[in-house]
Amino acid sequence: MQPEAITISTPHLTFSAVQWGDPEGHPVIALHGWLDNLASFTPMAPHLQGIRLIAVDQAGHGHSQHRPAGFSYDVWHYVEDLLYIAEALKLDKFGLVGHSLGAVVCTMAAGSVLKDRLTGLVAIDGLFPRPRKPEESPGALTRYILQRQTPTEQLPKTVYRSKQQAIRARTLSEFKVSSASAELLVDRSMREVDDGWVWTHDARLKLGSPTRFTLEQTLAFPNDVICPAHVVYASKGISGQIVNEFAHQLPHFVFHAMEGHHHLHMDDQVESVAAVVNSVFSSGV
């Protein structure tokens, strides 16, 4: 099946998605990372077998709706979104693939509201929400409330002279990608304005979180996952450090160390990541 653009309407938001593969294949919802979009799964999609991959622009990203004024982008809202997306797609049993923030959302959902409906989980260079020390909470809440006093339209927005400049900037960001991958992401998440090009994602995505879970709370989510669960990670990156520290506390998970950078599924290990996804979901629903 050629890539098919679809719209997913939920009680709160309308999401933009693209599905690839066999319409009768094993349904798998894919969630991208923070400030990325569903195009991050474009390189991997052709390598999947017997899978109906449904990649979704998360709220405030890509072509999906932004959250209404007054609402926030706290991670648990993404988990709620995922439940509504599955309901709208009328999926009873399905798999999850997530990258970075998407991996965190998928793991949290797999350990909570969707745990009995999942056939498998593949987390790509991400696993659980970043914990916060309890004593840091008052300062974090203060910063969050003060940040929210600035109207959305007045939040900082970078304007690029051209799309090519934006592509180059994306290749040089904290989580570097190739020019080809940067172009995929830029094409889906930028629009032309009078004085150049700007990102279409919600500027509120860059605001801080009012609160985060403690370490014990974050570990509770993967520890409650009951479906087959795999983590693909860049061995020399931040996720590698996390795996080295906490893998022994997650005996249910299978870990796959790979050479490369954060966007393994786009650049460094596309076929290898696809092979893990295929192995997890090859048995059908």
- How would you list the strands of the sheet with 229-234, edge to edge? 4-9, 14-21, 51-56, 26-31, 94-99, 118-124, 229-234, 253-258
Instruction: List all residues 6 or more positions away from 202 whose beta carbon is below 8 Å from its beta carbon.
Output: 59, 60, 61, 66, 67, 73, 152
The sign of the dihedral angle between the CA atoms of 7, 110, 126, 42 is negative
What is the DSSP pairing of strand 51-56 with strand 190-193?
unpaired
Average pLDDT, the chain: 94
Say what the pLDDT of residue 25 is. Answer: 94
DSSP state of 201: S
Query: In this structure, is residue 155 part of a structural domain?
Result: no
pTM over 0.85: yes
Say what the pLDDT of residue 283 is. Answer: 59
Query: In this structure, is residue 177 part of a structural domain?
Result: no
Alpha-helical (H) ranges within the chain are 75-88, 101-110, 137-147, 163-171, 179-189, 215-223, 238-246, 270-281
260 or 1, higher pLDDT: 260
The number of helices, as runs of H, and strands, as runs of E, in the chain is 8, 10
- pLDDT, average across residues 234-255: 92
Which residues span the domain enclosing 85?
A: 4-133+210-281
Summarised one tens digit per residue, pLDDT across range 56-107 is: 999 999 999 999 988 889 999 999 999 999 999 999 999 999 999 999 999 9
Summarised one tens digit per residue, pLDDT across range 95-152 is: 999 999 999 999 999 999 999 999 999 999 999 988 888 898 999 999 999 988 888 8
Say if residues 7 and 15 touch (Cβ distance below 8 Å): yes
At 177, phi and psi to the nearest 5? -135, 165
- CATH code for position 109: 3.40.50.1820
Position of tokens 């622009």? Answer: 57
DSSP state of 47: G
Count Cβ atoms within 10 A of the Cβ of residue 2 and give its class: 0-12 exposed, 13-18 middle, 19 or more buried: exposed
Say if residues 49 and 29 touch (Cβ distance below 8 Å): no
Query: In this structure, is residue 152 part of a structural domain?
Result: no
Query: In this structure, is residue 189 part of a structural domain?
Result: no
Query: In this structure, is residue 237 part of a structural domain?
Result: yes
**Considering its fold, how many domains does the chain have in total?**
1
240 or 110, higher pLDDT: 110
Does the pLDDT value for residue 284 go beyond 70? no
